[in-house]
Amino acid sequence: MPSSKVSAPAGNRPPCADGPDDWDLDVGNPESWRSAVRTCAACPLLAECSQLAQALTARGDGPRAMIWAGVAYDSAGRVVENLDRHRTTPLDHKRPLRIIRTGARPVCTEPAPATPRRRIVLGRRLRPAATGGC
């Protein structure tokens, strides 16, 4: 969870720089996210962060899956109104691929080539292969 101390350290370093995982919506829980929002609200750099978030959003590069300037954004960049209802999905949880055909199934006009016959010969010594080397 973010520290309850909200003053910006020397050099205008924001409090979120000390524990960035608390501002990440892919990790944590609603209580840690609410704490991060409260920390942002009391941060002396809130106005600058808010301006930067608005500029990035206007450009199409808005924040994703994070809390920025006290506002939570989901993985699509939409504002999360209720942190208690926000659910993180595992990165490896993907729906299976499903192909939906809207037209007739293609018909192959050429027959498939015949598979070559293979024979296994037992009991014969192999001849050395000519490798052109030593």
Q: What is the pTM of this model?
A: 0.55
pLDDT for residue 95: 64
Of 38 and 117, the one with more pLDDT? 38
Q: What is the DSSP letter of 25?
A: T
Q: Which two tokens stand for residue 83?
A: 């942190």
The backbone torsions φ and ψ at residue 97, rounded to the nearest 5 degrees and listed phi first, read -70, 135
Task: Evaluate whether 50 touches 69 at the Cβ level (below 8 Å).
Answer: yes
In this predicted model, what pLDDT tens digit does every residue of 13-36 receive, in sequence order? 888 888 888 888 888 888 988 999
Dihedral of the CA atoms 60, 66, 67, 68 (nearest 10)? -40
Domain boundaries, the chain: 20-84
pLDDT for residue 41: 92
pLDDT for residue 89: 58
